[in-house]
Amino acid sequence: MQFRLEKRREPSKAMLYATPVVAVLLTMVVGAIIFSLIGFDGIGAVREIFFTPLTNAYKWQDLGVKAAPLIIIGVGLSIAYRANVWNIGAEGQYVMGGLAATWIALLTYGMSGWWILPLMVVAGIAGGALYASIPALLRTRLNVNEILTSLMLTYVSVQLIYYLVRAPWKDPMGMGFPQTRRFSADALLPNIFPGTIVHAGVPIAIVVALVAWFVMSRSVFGYQMKVVGAAPHAARYGGFSENKTIWLALLVSGALAGLAGALEVSGPFQRMVPGFPTNYGFTAIIVAFLGRLNPLGVIFGGIVIAITFVGGEVAQTSIGLSNAATGVFQAMMLFFLLAGDILVRYRIRRVVPQTAEARS
């Protein structure tokens, strides 16, 4: 017996939006079963990972702080992916944004002024966008696949951090530890509620998602992105330049990744350290898909992934579940999401072996 995937003419809108929710639910159910089968408290694991973080005000702060960069980067990626431009190197653009902001912070070290932080943010955005322009240039001029170039440039950016924090930017007071100075007060991202750890990056993430949603659904730019992605031939016929779209997609996603980098380095990190690349750029890919490549959905995706991170630590401290379990849960979620997507867009048809006559 053979099966074949057949494209559905009109994928159900409701199903399209239900898949992420179903994927999360399936992850919980299957996760609980698998962990029970291998001798852990499976239900306890699911409870600690997915629900405990929601029951505690301190954890909400953690969720916000962890979700903010994922949402900002995820929004940018969702725009690029809509246009069928596969920027896989958001991690590198995030790093370059962080480095550009660090550069400003070190240049202005010891100075004060309201303009320092905004300048760092602008530098971060520019750094991310500039770094994303390399794959854009290679793709539009030489037709080099942007997946490879953007991914490989990530590793270059990480080496650049290592170099900078070891030599030119090394903290003179750091006991030889490779890290920059701690930024001066005016280069630090303020907390929006005193006494919490919720920094200004959290509301910025929400604003970014709302603006992106408005632009994608109400502007010519958004329309162009979607048309070029969905129907390149029609787009060309309609006068939309494919190269221009590639440039825009990479610049926007790079700029947002750079923004996230600037906010992270001036907020939670407060200095540049070798541990600055924490895979936000890669995790944001899951976030973008979990959010249906819709900027509002990305908020949901970012929060769900943040829950698994924070909950993973809760599960480690409370029921001794290994750290690797968090990875298993995240991976299962992406798997169910992608599998669900296939079933929404295609139906499974049994292939009946046909005879030669029947074919002619």
Partner 1 sequence: MTLNRRTMLKAGAAAAAAIPLFGSKAFAQEEPLKVGFVLIGTVNDNGWNFGHSEGAKYMKAELGDAVAEPTIVENVPEGPDCERVLRELAQSGHKLIFATSFGYGDYVIKVAQQFPDVRFEHATGYQRSENVGTYNARFYEGRAVCGTVAGHLSQTGKAGYIGSFPIPEVVMGVNAFVLAARKVNPDFTITPVYISTWNDPAREADAARAMIDQGIDIVAQHTDGPAALQVVEERGAVGGFGQGADMSAFAPNAQLTSIIDNWGPHYVLAAQAVIDGTWESKDVWPGLKEGEVEIGPYGPKVPEDVIAAAEAVKNGQIDGSMHIFTGPINDHTGTERVAAGVTLTDAELLSMDWYVEGVIPPA
The correct pick among 217, 219, 243, 323 for binding partner 1 (CB under 8 A) is 323
Comparing C-alpha atoms, which of 52, 140, 131 is closest to residue 98?
Answer: 131
Of 192-221, which residues contact partner 1 (CB under 8 A)?
197
40 binds partner 1 (CB under 8 A): no
Q: Is 318 in the site for partner 1 (CB under 8 A)?
A: yes
Minimum CB distance to partner 1, residue 193 (Å):
11
- Give the integer Cα–Cα distance in Å for 222 and 24: 28
Residue window 115-154: x/- pattern of binding to partner 1, with contact defined by CB under 8 A: ----------------------------------------
Q: Is residue 121 a contact partner of residue 262, using CB atoms and an 8 Å limit?
A: yes
Binding track, positions 149-188, relative to partner 1; x by CB under 8 A:
-------------x---x--------xxxx---x------
Taking the complex as a whole, how short is the minimal distance between the CB of residue 57 and partner 1, in angstroms? 4
Least distance to partner 1 from the beta carbon of 43, Å? 13
Shortest distance in whole angstroms from residue 151 CB to partner 1: 18
> 110 or 176, CB closer to partner 1?
176
Q: Coil, helix or strand for 88?
A: coil
DSSP string, 273-308: -TT---SHHHHHHHHHHHTTT-HHHHHHHHHHHHHH
Q: Is 284 within 8 Å of 90 (Cβ atoms)?
A: yes
By CB under 8 A, residue 232 contacts partner 1: no
CA angle 194, 301, 318 (to 5 degrees): 65
What is the Rg, in whole angstroms, of the alpha carbon atoms belonging to the chain? 22
Q: CB of residue 247 vs partner 1: minimum separation in angstroms?
A: 33
Please state, in angstroms and rounded to a whole number, the distance separating the CA atoms of residues 339 and 329: 15
Q: Answer yes or no whether residue 317 interacts with partner 1 by CB under 8 A.
A: yes
Q: Residue 153's closest CA among 79, 222, 81, 92?
A: 92
CA separation for the pair 94, 141 (Å, rounded): 24
Q: Does 55 bind partner 1 (CB under 8 A)?
A: yes
Comparison of 146 and 264: residue with beta carbon closer to partner 1:
264
Which two three-digit tokens encode residue 52? 């405990």
Question: Interface residues with partner 1 (CB under 8 A)?
Answer: 52, 55-58, 62, 65-66, 162, 166, 175-178, 182, 197, 268-270, 273-276, 278, 310, 313-314, 316-320, 322-323
